[in-house]
């Protein structure tokens, strides 16, 4: 019979990271917030950074094909996440929390996200969010590119129709005007662009736990996420 060897838990020199990737409307944002609150960890909404670049470029009249100006803007933009858990944020001193959540901002974000220089500039900013006691990182390439050493990776999916319905409700609840058919079309276009881009495309990491949320509500998804984390990390939450 093989000897039982008792091993100590590995000593983490860097803050642990849990990544939650997937397309929009899968509940990534809500799950990330619930998780960060439960663990008392930091949170990174990486989509917000891409939205800031897209909206900021638009506001400053920077054309999306002016790569040098975009890169400069991305490096120099001053971002202030005033109340992170509520997703409220400022760009260069201006509160743009509402504007940043509009579908048009998501589309701008997706367009600047194909540009390697923008991704490179945002990479460093994203790493800076990794602080003790830990980080929950929400996005498209958190588990594949930015935090490949994450202690647990999730990839959330759901049917296009269900995702469009969810986004519709979210936007209406925020008082934004939106048309369901346009929304479905926008999401499909954005999915395609995000999934087919050459650099850091939207794909699950090989070691990600994929959860199809089509028929699940947020609490059911959160339960699955917690079980996986408890099993993987023995965190006692
Ligand atoms: O998660 P979101 O809807 O706020 O993201 C907006 C866009 O930003 C998304 O369509 C693609 C881009 N994005 C990205 O390319 N990589 C990330 N890690 C996060 C977002």
Q: What is the pLDDT of residues 152-187, one digit of tens each?
A: 999 999 999 999 999 899 888 888 888 999 999 999
Q: Which atom of ligand 1 is nearest to the CA of 48?
A: 4
Whose alpha carbon is nearest atom 4 of ligand 1? 47
Residue nearest to ligand 1 atom 16, measured at CA: 140
Give the number of the atom of ligand 1 that is nearest the alpha carbon of residue 141.
18
pLDDT band at 204 (very low <50, low <70, confident <90, very high): very high
pTM equals 0.90
Are 133 and 40 within 8 A, CB to CB? yes
Q: What domains can be seen in the chain, in order of their start residue?
A: 17-215 (3.40.50.300)
> In the sheet that 17-21 helps form, which strands lie side by side, from edge to edge?
42-45, 135-139, 17-21, 152-157, 209-212
113, 202 in Cβ contact below 8 A? Answer: no
CB of 232 closer than 8 Å to CB of 225: no
- Tell whether the model's pLDDT for residue 2 goes beyond 80: no
Nearest residue to 52 via CA among 103, 130, 108? 108
Alpha carbon of 203 to ligand 1 centroid (Å): 13
Rounded alpha-carbon distances, angstroms, from residue 188 to 48, 169, 210, 212: 19, 17, 20, 17
pLDDT of residue 171: 83
Ligand 1 atom 10 nearest Cα:
110
Of 182, 153, 190, 171, give the one whose Cα is nearest residue 24. Answer: 190
**What are the angstrom distances between the C-alpha of 176 and each of 100, 101, 103?**
11, 9, 9
Mean pLDDT of 101-105: 87
Instruction: Give the Cα separation of 118 and 4 in Å (integer).
Output: 50
Measure the CA–CA gap between 69 and 82, rounded to whole angstroms.
26
DSSP conformation class of 79: E
- pLDDT value at residue 177: 82
Verify whether ligand 1 is closer than 6 Å to residue 126 (CB atom): no
Q: How many CA atoms lie within 13 A of 13 on its CB side?
A: 0
Contact 156, 221 (CB under 8 A): yes
Q: Is the CB of 19 under 6 A from ligand 1?
A: no
Bridging pattern class, strands 135-139 and 17-21: parallel
pLDDT higher at 1 or 173:
173
Tell me which DSSP letter residue 60 carries.
Answer: T
Residue 21 predicted with pLDDT over 60: yes
At 98, list the tokens: 């509402």
Q: How far is the CA of 13 from the centre of ligand 1 (A)?
A: 29
- Taking CA atoms only, the protein residue closest to ligand 1 atom 13 is 47
Q: What distance in Å separates the CA atoms of residue 150 and residue 28, rounded to the nearest whole number?
A: 16
Q: Quote the ligand 1 centre to 237 CA distance (angstroms).
A: 29
Tokens encoding 87? 């997703």
Q: Which of 127, 137, 140 to mutate to test the pocket of ligand 1 (most atoms within 8 A of CB)?
A: 140
Q: Is 166 in the pocket of ligand 1 (CB under 6 A)?
A: no
Q: Is 113 in the pocket of ligand 1 (CB under 6 A)?
A: yes
- What does the pLDDT average to over 222-228? 96
Q: Give the strand order in the sheet containing 79-83.
A: 79-83, 88-91, 94-95
Strands in 5-147 per DSSP E: 17-21, 42-45, 79-83, 88-91, 94-95, 135-139
């Amino acid at each position: 019979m093989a000897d039982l060897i008792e091993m100590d838990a590995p000593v983490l020199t860097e803050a642990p990271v849990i990544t939650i990737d997937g397309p929009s409307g899968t509940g990534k944002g809500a799950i990330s917030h619930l998780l960060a609150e439960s663990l008392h960890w930091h949170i990174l909404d990486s989509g917000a950074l891409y939205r800031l670049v897209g909206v900021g470029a638009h506001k400053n009249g920077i054309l999306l094909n002016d790569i040098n100006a975009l890169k400069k803007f991305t490096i120099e933009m001053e971002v202030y996440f005033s109340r992170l858990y509520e997703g409220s944020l400022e760009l260069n001193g201006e509160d743009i929390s509402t504007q940043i959540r509009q579908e048009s901002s998501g589309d701008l974000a997706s367009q600047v996200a194909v540009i390697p220089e923008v991704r490179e500039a945002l990479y460093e900013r994203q790493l800076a969010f990794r602080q003790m006691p830990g980080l929950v990182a929400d996005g498209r390439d958190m588990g594949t590119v930015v935090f490949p050493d994450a202690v647990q990776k999730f990839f959330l999916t759901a049917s296009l129709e269900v995702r469009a319905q969810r986004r519709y409700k979210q936007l209406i609840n925020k008082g934004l005007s939106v048309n369901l058919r346009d929304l479905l079309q926008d999401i499909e276009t954005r999915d395609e662009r995000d999934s087919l881009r050459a650099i850091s495309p939207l794909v699950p990491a090989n070691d990600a736990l994929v959860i199809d949320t089509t028929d699940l509500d947020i609490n059911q998804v959160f339960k699955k996420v917690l079980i996986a984390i408890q099993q993987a990390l023995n965190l006692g939450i």
